[in-house]
């Protein structure tokens, strides 16, 4: 099937991250292939003109009018931009202005408000990233009592990117520990984790997928062999079951999905 093509611009007077995040919703249109173009820091007339040229050009080249998702606080710049033909989703007009009426407060219109360093959670997020990097793969036990989540699972089950995502996106301090043959022989978690059971979350994965991931790293090794992957995963899952550790399968889940599940679990 040939897909329809459409250019989608995300134009902002700041980083363009909020506008761009709506780009995820475009996945709801599988028959259309969106070429996504971000134009951040569109905060004066000259830059608006540049953006207009790119929109007009995209329309000329594609034959259909582009989609423009925009967060520009200055209403003059906003209206100036919209002079060129496109399908506009104006988040200030459609989201912030009506919300401002609801809560009886006029929204700030200066650029760069949303993703600045002064956001209340920014310091926490940076601290959590340092924590996740410092506590990756059982690297150090020091400060483990500060962890809000401790991920466990066999090597290459997705612990590292999930820990980093939890930190980067939510400021959650996540440590992670690999489950290794010694743990299976002993039949318990690494002893250092004693007393932290309520913070522990397990990641598991299908043997075929683990085999493929490990083969990228160490092809033809015992470590990567399907038989060994199957055995390690079986032992890890048995350990999690015995100890009542909640877990999720990373085989077909993104770090976003895993993180949402982990956070839900933290709340219960």
Q: What is the DSSP letter of 108?
A: P
Tokens (6 digits) for 28: 């709801």
**Residues 189/240, Cβ–Cβ less than 8 Å:** no
Q: What minimum distance in Å lies between the beta carbon of 149 and its own copies?
A: 16
Q: Which of residues 34-53 bind its own copies (CB under 8 A)?
A: 38, 40-41
Q: Which of residues 121-150 bind its own copies (CB under 8 A)?
A: 122, 126, 129-130, 133, 136
Q: What is the DSSP letter of 40?
A: -
Beta bridge partners of 151: 176, 201
What is the distance between the alpha carbons of residues 8 and 161, in angstroms, rounded to a whole number?
28
**Residues 34/49, Cβ–Cβ less than 8 Å:** no
The verdict on 163 binding its own copies (CB under 8 A) reads no
Contact residue for its own copies among 56, 59, 80, 113 (CB under 8 A): 113
**Within 10 Å of residue 76's Cβ, how many Cβ atoms?**
10
Contact residue for its own copies among 56, 180, 235, 263 (CB under 8 A): 263
Tokens (6 digits) for 72: 């520009």
Q: Which of residues 48-107 bind its own copies (CB under 8 A)?
A: 67, 71, 73, 87, 89, 91, 94-96, 99-100, 102-105, 107
Contact residue for its own copies among 14, 138, 171, 178 (CB under 8 A): 14
* Phi then psi dihedrals of residue 203, to 5 deg: -110, 135
Tokens (6 digits) for 187: 């039949």
Binding site for its own copies (CB under 8 A): 4, 6, 14-18, 21-22, 24-25, 27-32, 38, 40-41, 67, 71, 73, 87, 89, 91, 94-96, 99-100, 102-105, 107-109, 112-117, 119, 122, 126, 129-130, 133, 136, 160-161, 164-165, 168-169, 252-257, 259-261, 263-264
């Amino acid at each position: 099937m040939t897909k329809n093509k459409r250019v989608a611009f995300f134009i902002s007077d700041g980083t363009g991250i909020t506008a761009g995040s709506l780009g995820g919703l475009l996945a709801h249109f599988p028959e259309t292939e969106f070429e996504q173009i971000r134009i951040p820091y569109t905060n004066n007339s000259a830059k608006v003109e540049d953006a207009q040229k790119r929109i007009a050009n995209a329309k000329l080249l594609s034959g259909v009018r582009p989609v423009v998702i925009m967060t520009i606080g200055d209403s003059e710049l906003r209206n100036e931009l919209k002079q060129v033909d496109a399908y506009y989703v104006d988040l200030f007009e459609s989201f912030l202005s009506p919300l401002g009426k609801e809560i009886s407060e006029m929204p700030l219109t200066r650029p760069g408000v949303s993703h600045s360093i002064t956001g209340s959670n920014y310091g926490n997020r940076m601290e959590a990233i340092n924590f996740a990097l410092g506590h990756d793969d059982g690297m150090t036990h020091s400060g483990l009592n500060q962890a809000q989540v401790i991920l466990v699972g066999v090597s290459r089950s997705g612990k590292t990117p999930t820990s980093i995502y939890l930190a980067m996106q939510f400021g959650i301090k996540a440590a992670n520990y690999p489950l290794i043959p010694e743990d299976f022989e002993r039949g318990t978690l690494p002893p250092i984790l004693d007393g932290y059971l309520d913070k522990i979350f397990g990641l598991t994965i299908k043997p075929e997928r683990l085999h493929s991931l490990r083969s990228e790293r160490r092809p033809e090794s015992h470590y990567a062999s399907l038989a060994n992957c199957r055995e390690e995963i079986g032992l890890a899952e048995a350990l999690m079951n015995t100890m009542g550790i909640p877990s999720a399968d990373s085989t077909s889940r993104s770090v976003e999905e895993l993180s949402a599940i982990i956070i839900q679990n933290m709340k219960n």
